[in-house]
Amino acid sequence: MSDAAPFSSVAIVGLGLIGSSVARGVRRYMPGVRIAAYDADPAVRDTARRLGLADNIPDTAAEAVADAALVILCVPVGAMGAAARDLAGALAPHALVTDVGGSKESVLAALRAALPDALIVPGHPVAGTEHSGPEAGFATLFRGRWCILTPDEGTPDAPVAALRAFWEALGANVELMTPRHHDRVLAVTSHVPHLIAYAIVGTASDLEQVTESEVIKFSAGGFRDFTRIAASDPVMWRDVFLNNREAVLEILQRLTEDVTMLQRAIRWGDGDALFDLFTRTRAIRRSIIAEGQDDAAVDFGRRHDDSA
């Protein structure tokens, strides 16, 4: 085992963007670690074998996790309970079970119900792209990004520290939160923004016939950015919204109130109110860049061909 690796063996269940990126990251940054992997889709397993994502890719989840010191469930949050039940009884003694789901209270409850005797430390690497599938992954996906761990009360310190070391070896920054706090924070920073993107792109699709294709033809940068977000995995995001509904609905209510305020400012020509809000939001963008969570590349990093 590599000196940087806190686990001698890892099993990855689910080989989409995140799962395949974990596998590639372990290969690159913890080369002494043995990797087993499984996906419920036989075609995905075949692709993973062709790509050489793991040392062993069996045809059942139970076989994949049998000897693993760390088991990572990389499936949509709505499938977490079923995935955990598939490997119940096959876990090695003292194996640590974690996940990568975007909501944490519901996931912890599902894992506790399916694996009542297992050592569980939920996790959420806040990283991704609009692409999915085993061929979309890459080893550096987590470098410089945050991974949030949400251990339950009473969880021993040692497994939490080991899991922190694992994600740090993949290049992530690690933060600890309670599951409830995680769900509220992510509702603001990720879940509701995705919901807005889906809504705006859906509205544009509905208006496409009315405007005789001009919505798509003349899409500006803002709309293009929304379409990138709205191209994310529909199964994953459906499950996130349904499993974090309380926090999402709370933030949506606040957003509705803020949009009403903007409507009022526009209707009554209150330029000062608009200017103040836009100045404050511009400062937030600069803070995100200062934190290293994005860069200040011109035109949001879009490439330009000046040869034409």
The pLDDT assigned to 306 comes to 45
Give pLDDT tens digits for 223-267: 777 887 888 888 888 998 998 899 999 999 999 999 999 999 999
Give burial (CB, 10 Å; 0-12/13-18/19+) of 240.
buried
Give the mean pLDDT of 95-122: 95
* Confidence tier at 180 by pLDDT (50, 70, 90): very high
What is the share, in percent, of the chain residues with pLDDT greater than 70? 87
What are the structural domains, with CATH classification, of the chain? 9-177 (3.40.50.720), 182-293 (1.10.3660.10)
Give the mean pLDDT of 296-300: 56
Give the mean pLDDT of 166-180: 96
Give pLDDT tens digits for 20-73: 999 999 999 999 999 999 999 999 999 999 999 999 999 999 999 999 999 999
Q: Given the DSSP bridges, would you call strands 96-99 and 70-73 parallel, antiparallel or unpaired?
A: parallel
- Predicted TM-score (pTM) of this structure: 0.81
Average pLDDT, the chain: 87
pLDDT at 1 over 60: no
pLDDT at 105 over 60: yes
Contact between 73 and 99 (Cβ < 8 Å) = yes
